[in-house]
């Protein structure tokens, strides 16, 4: 990891995740009764848990509203959940104010142009591997994995490594 990237990642105290296209692959599945289904990657969830255990707060901002997202957030013990946010900037400003953080202490990971208003405000903007080209252009870093397939975990691991918490975290599993 180059020094500029490490410098940005070391400051992060909050990561805001988009949901569709980041925590999922962006596909929307419906059954014949209109019931929605989403697939979340278990390693992404564990990465988020490791981040929280190491002092980095987690938030979700999504344009859609879904009980599935609420259930996943509760499962991961995420307290900051903003759904139905077609304009994500007000949610970002609200959580920034609640936590009293500067922009350079916040990371946002997104995949599509609706994420750009927040991505251009944070200190560490991240695009998933399969993000829209304009999102990639405006990101400080791009994950090696696509949305819903490990992209969130990529970011979690990068932050733990940059903040010198990775080795101690891995010792929990190797002891």
Residue 9 lies in a domain: yes
pLDDT tens sequence across 112-130: 999 999 999 999 999 999 9
Place of tokens 């929307």: 28
Residue 161 lies in a domain: yes
Residue 107 lies in a domain: yes
Specify the number of domains making up the chain.
Answer: 1
pLDDT at 175: 78
81, 60 in Cβ contact below 8 A?
Answer: yes
Residue 17 lies in a domain: yes
Q: How high is the mean pLDDT of the chain? A: 96
Residue 70 lies in a domain: yes
- In terms of residue numbers, what domain contains 160? 3-170
Q: What is the pTM of this model?
A: 0.95
Among 19-28, 97-106, 123-132, name the one with the lowest average pLDDT: 19-28
Residue with more model confidence, 133 or 36: 133
153, 44 in Cβ contact below 8 A?
Answer: yes
pLDDT tens sequence across 29-70: 899 998 888 999 999 999 999 999 999 999 999 999 999 999
Mean pLDDT of 67-79: 94
Secondary structure (DSSP) of the chain: --HHHHHHHHT--EEEE-STTTTS-S--EE-TT--EE----HHHHHHHHHHHHTT-EEEEE-SS--HHHHHHHHHTT--EEE-S-SS-HHHHHHHHHHHT--GGGEEEEE-SGGGHHHHTTSSEEEE-TT--HHHHHT-SEE-SS-TTTTHHHHHHHHHHHHTT-HHHHHHHHH-
Residue 175 lies in a domain: no
- What CATH number did the domain enclosing 58 receive? 3.40.50.1000
107, 99 in Cβ contact below 8 A?
Answer: no
**Above 90 in pLDDT, residue 146?**
yes
């Amino acid at each position: 990891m180059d020094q500029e990237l490490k410098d940005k990642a070391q400051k992060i105290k909050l990561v805001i995740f988009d949901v569709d296209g980041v925590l999922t692959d962006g596909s929307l599945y419906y059954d014949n009764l209109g019931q929605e289904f989403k697939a979340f990657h278990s390693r992404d969830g564990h990465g988020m848990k490791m981040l929280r255990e190491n002092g980095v707060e987690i938030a979700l901002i999504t344009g859609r509203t879904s009980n599935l997202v609420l259930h996943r957030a509760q499962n991961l013990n995420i307290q900051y959940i903003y759904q139905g946010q077609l304009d994500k900037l007000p949610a970002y400003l609200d959580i920034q104010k609640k936590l009293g953080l500067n922009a350079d202490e916040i990371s946002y990971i997104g995949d599509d142009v609706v994420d750009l208003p927040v991505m251009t405000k944070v200190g560490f903007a991240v695009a998933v591997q399969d993000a829209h080209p304009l999102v990639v252009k405006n990101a400080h870093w791009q994950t090696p994995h696509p949305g819903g397939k490990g992209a969130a975990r990529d970011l979690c691991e990068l932050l733990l490594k940059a903040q010198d918490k990775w080795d101690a975290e891995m010792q929990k599993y190797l002891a």
